[in-house]
Each structure stands twice: as structure tokens, then as C-alpha cells.
Structure 1
């Protein structure tokens, strides 16, 4: 029986995708499957790899169609072909430990209504994506939490934490969603699993609205990788950001627009940020489906100021401030404009070179590790965290 389907959407990053497939294939479990949804311009690299190098019934390849699909449609077709009782999506430059199926089974026994499971993630920059010194991150806790749905809603929809990004790590991306919940989402929202081009955060909105019980593992089970060709790589390079935004806008031109009249903050190559793209997605969802937004305006003004605070350059700071100021002036008749008063630009004072433990996360200078893929980094990180077997068995302590 397939307990977990791992969906692997990919586009024009075949070399990274193959590395991820190879790493997943090393796992001996037979209760998971991997669907590779190839949306590349050239189908040959992955097709040849499946035909000549991969002989594993747990893996299925979905070939590209006649035209490039928007990312949201590629995710849609991958999930629609899943056979698993639970479904997860990761990027083609990421990694997930298939042994998470053991933890899912344990949570199903302990919490019978659970239909969404989240976990902490390690983070890792591929060697080709280190234009500045970078730190890899390993969460080292191992507890289990039951999420408060009210708290998640306040953080996600109304930005109650007033941070540049809501701390709501739930959803199908680097999480596991029960198939029955995905079917409820499809029925409730337009007959599709996914609608919005910012597909991971859109799903987070829908899972938060529809889940009966979300269980969270503090122990990491996947790695958020960032290669030079990834969207997240743009956070380290303004040139990469401009290219990613241009490509994203072109390939999503027939989808729901990120720029909505009800939330007039324009996403441009110069001012793009995770803060803005997440807010545009959550605002679209709440306005489309009648979610209470009380407090959002004031809270988002504070989040926008924090986003400006972390600008790497004066040019980037000026672009963000101008974009946010224009948006607040237009939004709800300028009701929240007076609250947006960012502090003057201050150049970053730290460089990512220090290794140490902060807030239950071990930060390690990546240049010193030697890991060349997210899977290798995950195996390295496992030396510092609770073994999977101990977590599945319910052990309270373990001997390193």
C-alpha cells in the first residue's frame, strides 16, 4: 500500500532533479511513491534517465505536455495522479526523508482526526548558490505540538505576529496532507486542488481553513534546498530576483494575477520580497472566500517596516519603501498609510560566518561541511538530532 506520495514538480533543472531522485531511491521503504512532474522545455534528460538508469517501480515520470504549464497547473496534475493516503510536495532541489511515513502512522494512532502534518525543515544552499558566506540550518528539537487553528489563522490571515513572514509552516509543501483533506479543498475551492500562482502559500491558506487537526513535529524531516537556478536563490542576488520575477510573471500570465485591486501592492522586480508575495496571496484568499481580516491592515504595516529593515542595499531599501508607500496610499483609501514609517536605511552589520546554536537551531558555515546535495546535508544533520526510529517508537531519550 502506498502510504505517502511525494510529488516532485520540476522545470529545466534536470541535473538537480536527478540528484534528488537518486537520493530518494536509496531509501529501502516500499510504502511511498515519487511522482516526477516534468515541465521542462527538453523532455529528454529525465526521460532518458528513467529509461536507462532508474529501474524502480516506486517512481513515475509525467512527461511535459505540448506547452509549458504554469507552476500551479504542474502541481495540479502531479497531485491528481497521487495514489498515496498522504501527499507531500517538495522542490526538485530539495530532499525529504521517506521514513516520515513511520511518524505519520504514529500520529494517526495518537491523534485520530489528524489530516495535516507539518515538521521543521533544514535549510541548505547548493555549492553553486553561495555568492556570499552562507549558513546551513538544523533544527535540533524533537517534540510534538498540536497546532491551535485560531492561532494559525491569526498569524496567517491577519499577520498577528507583525513579522515579515508569518510563522505558519503548514501545508502540502514540505508537509504531509491526508488525501481526504485535499479532496475537501478541491470541493470547497473551485474544483481544483490549487488556484493561485503562489501555490505553496495558497495551499497553506486552504489547509489552515479546512484541516480538522494539524500535528507538528519539531524534528526536521526535509531540507529546503536552494540551487543557483531556484526562486529562493534570488534572495542572495538582485539580478537573480529580477530574472525570477520576469520568468514567473510570463509563465503565470494566464493564472490569477498577483496584483489585485483589493490589495494594491504591485510586485515588481526591484521591490519583490517574500513579505509582499505572501501578503498578496493571503489577501487574495481572504477576500475571495470571506475570511475575517480584522487587524490585518495595522499588522501588515509593521510587517512591511520589518521587511524594509532587512534590505541588503540602499537601492533595494529605496525600492521597497517606495513600493510599500504607494500600496498603503492606495489601499482602503490610505487608511493604514500613516502607520508605515520605516526606520532609515542601515547597512547589514553581520556576515554569515559564525557557527553556533540559536533558538534551537544549529547554524553551520556551509563552506566547512563538505555536503554537495541536500540529501548529503540531511545525513550530516542527523548526527545532531533524534533518530527516526526513536521518534517512531516514542522513546523519550536516546544515546548519541
Structure 2
């Protein structure tokens, strides 16, 4: 029986995807599968690798369709073909430890109603995505326990933390969701697993609303990778951010537009950011499905200021401020504009050069560790955290 399906949507990043597939294939278990949903212009590289080089029955390929699919539709078809009792989605430049199946089985014993599992993630930049000195990070917390859906809803829908990004790691992207919960989501929201062009954060919204019991692990089970061709690479370059957004908009045309008059912030603006992309998704969900947004306006103004404070230079700061200011001036007739008061730009004191512990994460200079893929970094990181085999065997206590 397939207990876990790892969905791997991919588009035109075949070299990275093949390395990710090869790393997943090193796992010994037979109770997981990897479903590669190829949306590339050239189907040959992945078809050749999976059919003639790997030849592993645990790996299945969904070939590209006649025309390029919006990302949300590629995710949708991956879920439709998944066979697992549980499902996870990762990027083609990421990594997830297939031994997660053992953790899921143990959680099912300890927490009978669990239908969503989240965890902290390691983060890693591929060698081709280091235009400045970069740090990889390893969460070092070890506890596990139930997550309050009320608290998560407050963080995600109303941005109660007032940070540039809600600290909500719940959802099918780098999380494991029980198939029964995904079917419940499909029944409750338009007959689809995914609707919005930004399916990862949309999934977070829907899981929080529909899950019976969410269990969160402070111990990481996956790595968020960022290659030079990834959307995550935009975090290190405003020019890359602009190009990625243009590509994203061109390839995500569908029934739900990213441009909405009720939340008139533009991703086409040169100062657009991941913070804004998340807010566009969460506000769409709340307004579409009648979720209470009390407090969101003021909180988002503070989150926008926090985003501006993370600028690396004056030009980036000016562009972000202009983008947010334009949106706040137009949103609800400027109702929240007075709350957006970004502090003057201050150059960062350090540029990702200091290794060490901070905010329950071990940060290490990537140039010094020799890991060339997320999987290699995961194996490096495991030396600093509780061994997976100990967690699965129960020799380590699951408790916060």
C-alpha cells in the first residue's frame, strides 16, 4: 500500500528535478511513491531519465499536456493521480525525507484524529544561487504536538504577528495532508483541490479551516531549496523578483486573477514582494469564503513596514515603499494608509556572513559546508538534530 505520495510539480528545470528524484530514490522504503508532474516545454529529459535510467516503480511520470498548464492546474492533476493515503508537495529543487512515512505512522498512533502534519524546514541555496554570501539554516527544536487552528487562523488570515510573512507552515507544500482531508477540501471549495494561482498559500488557508487535528514538529523533515531558476531566488535580487513575477503572471492565467479591485496591490509593480503575494492570496480566500478579517488592515500595514525594513539597498527600499504606498492609497479609499509609516532605510549591518544559533535555528555559511544539493545539506543538517530513526522507534519522546 502507498502510504505517502510525494508530488513533484516541475517546469523547465529538468536538471534540478533529476537530482531531486535521484536523491529520493536512495530511500529504501516501498510504502511511498513520487509523482512527477512535468509541465515543461521539452518532455524528453525527464521521460528519458525516469524510463531508461532510473527504472524504479515507486516513481511515476505525468507527461506534459498539449499546452502549458497554469501552475495551479499542474498541482491539481498531480493530486488527482496521487495514490497515497497521505500526500505532500515539494518543489523540483527541494528535498523531503521519505522516511517521513514512519513519522506519519507513529503520529497516527499517538494522535488518532490527525489529518494534517507540518514541520519546520531547513533552507538551502543551490551553488548557482549565491549572488551574495548566503546562509543555510537548520531548525534545532525537537518538540511535537497539536497546533491551535484558532491561533494559526489569526496569524495567517489577520496577520496578527505583524511580520513580513506569517509563520504558518501548515499546508500540503512541505507538509503532509491526509487524503480524506484533501477530499473534504475539494468538496467544500469549488470541487477542486486548488483554485488560486498561488496554490501553496491557498492550501494553508484551506487546511487551517478544514483540518480536524494539525500536528506540528519542530524537527525538520524537508529542505526548501532555492536554485537560480526558482521563484525563491527573487529574495536575493530585485531584478530577478521582477522577472519571476512577470513569468508567474504570464503562466498563471485562469479564472482567478491576481489583480483584484477589493485588494488593489499590484504584483506588476517593481517593488512587489513575496509578502505581497501571500497577502493577495490570503485576502482572496477570506473575502471569497467569508472569513473574519478584523484587524487585518492595521496588521498588514505593519507587515508591509517589516518587509521594507528587510531591503538590502536604497533602490529596493524605495521600490517597496512605493508599491505598498500605492496599494494602501487605493485600498478601501485609503482607510489604512495612515498606518503605513516605514522607517527610513538603514543598510543591513551584516550580509549573511555570521554562522551560529539564532531564533532556534542553526545558520551556516553555505560556501563552507560543501553540500551541492538540498539532499546533501539535509544529511549534513541531521548531525545537529534528533536522528530520524530514534523518532520513528519512539526512543525520543514526542512532546512540546
Q: Report TM bin, short chain.
A: over 0.9
Structure 2 spans left out of the alignment, 5+ residues: none
Q: Distance in 2 between matches of 1:304 and 1:270?
A: 15
C-alpha distance in 2 between matches for 1:242 and 1:161: 27
The aligned counterpart of 2:233 is 233
CA contact (8 A) 1:246 1:269 kept: no
What is the CA-CA distance between 1:396 and the residue it aligns to? 3.4
1:41 equivalent in structure 2: 41
Check conservation: 1:265, 1:323, Cα contact below 8 A: yes
CA distance in 2, matches of 1:30, 1:2: 8
Counterpart secondary structure, 1:169:
coil
**Residue of structure 2 equivalent to 1:331:** 331
Is the 1:133–1:351 Cα contact (8 Å) retained in structure 2? yes
Give the CA deviation at 1:358. 1.2
The answer to whether the Cα contact below 8 Å between 1:241 and 1:269 also exists between their aligned partners in 2 is: no
Is the counterpart of residue 68 in structure 1 residue 94 in structure 2?
A: no
Q: CA deviation at 1:278?
A: 0.4
Q: State which drifts further: 225-234 or 307-316.
A: 307-316
Give me the CA root mean square deviation.
1.0
Q: Tell me which residue corresponds to 1:315.
A: 315
Mapping 1:44-123, distance limit 5 Å: 44-123=44-123
Counterparts of 2:265 and 2:117 in 1: how far apart (Å)? 32
Q: Which residue of 1 aligns with 2:282?
A: 282
2:384 aligns to what?
384
The separation in 1 between residues aligned to 2:359 and 2:52, in whole angstroms, is 46
Aligned residue number for residue 250 of structure 2: 250
SS of 1:253 mapped into structure 2: coil
SS in 1 for 2:114: coil
Gaps of 5+ in 1: none
1:182-227 deviation digits (Å, cap 9, x = unpaired): 0011011111000001110000000011111100011110000000
Name the residue aligned to 2:138: 138
Deviations 1:78-131 (A, max 9, x none): 011000000000000000000011111111111111100001111100000000
Q: Which moved more, 1:90-99 or 1:314-323?
A: 314-323
Give per-residue Cα distances to partners, 1:125-149, cap 9 Å, x unaligned.
Answer: 0000000000010111211021011
Structure 1 residue runs of 4+, over 3 Å off? none
Residues 258-284 of structure 1 deviation map (CA, whole Å, 9 limit, x = unaligned): 121111111125111111000000000
2: CA distance, partners of 1:254 / 1:269: 20
Distance (Å, rounded) in 1 between the aligned partners of 2:141 and 2:347: 33
Does the residue aligned with 1:7 lie in a helix, a strand or coil? strand
Q: How far apart in 2 are the matches of 1:191 and 1:126? A: 37
**Inter-partner Cα distance in structure 1 for 2:395 and 2:334:** 55
Which residue in 2 is equivalent to 1:214?
214
What is the CA distance between 1:389 and its match in structure 2? 1.3
What are the Cα deviations for residues 362-400 of structure 1, in whole angstroms up to 9, with x where unaligned?
100000000110001111111111011111222238xxx
> What secondary structure, in the 3-state scheme, does the structure 2 residue paired with 1:260 have?
coil
Whether the 8 Å CA contact 1:94–1:374 is kept in 2: the answer is: yes
In the alignment, what sits opposite 1:201?
201
Give SS of 1:64's match: coil
Native 8 Å contact 1:124 1:137 kept in 2: yes
Separation in 2 of the partners of 1:64 and 1:282? 30
Q: Is the 8 A contact 2:90 2:173 kept in 1?
A: yes
Q: What is the alpha-carbon distance in structure 2 between the residues aligned to residue 371 and residue 288 of structure 1? A: 43
Distance 1:268 1:348 in 2: 26
Decide whether the 8 Å contact of 1:197 with 1:255 is kept in 2.
Answer: no
Tell whether the 8 Å contact from 1:245 to 1:269 is kept in structure 2 after alignment. no
Once residues 23 and 388 of structure 2 are traced to their aligned partners in structure 1, the CA distance between those partners, rounded to angstroms, is 17
